[in-house]
Amino acid sequence: MRRLTLLLAASVMAGCTSPLPAVNPQMAWVDFSTPFPNDKLLMAERLDNQRTQDGRYFQVTPGSHELIVRFDFEVPGGGGMSTMSSPRERLCYLTINYDHFEAGQRYVLEGRSISFTPSARLYNSKREIVAEDRQAYCII
Q: What is the pTM of this model?
A: 0.79
SS (H, E, C) the chain: CHHHHHHHHHHHHHHHCCCCCCCCCCCEEEEEECCCCCEEEEEEEEECCEECCCCCCEEECCEEEEEEEEEEEEECCCCCCCCCCCCEEEEEEEEEEEEEECCCCEEEEEEEEECCEEEEEEECCCCCEEEECCEEEECC
Task: Report percent pLDDT > 70 for the chain.
Answer: 83
pLDDT tens digits for range 21-63: 888 999 999 999 998 777 789 999 999 999 999 999 999 999 9
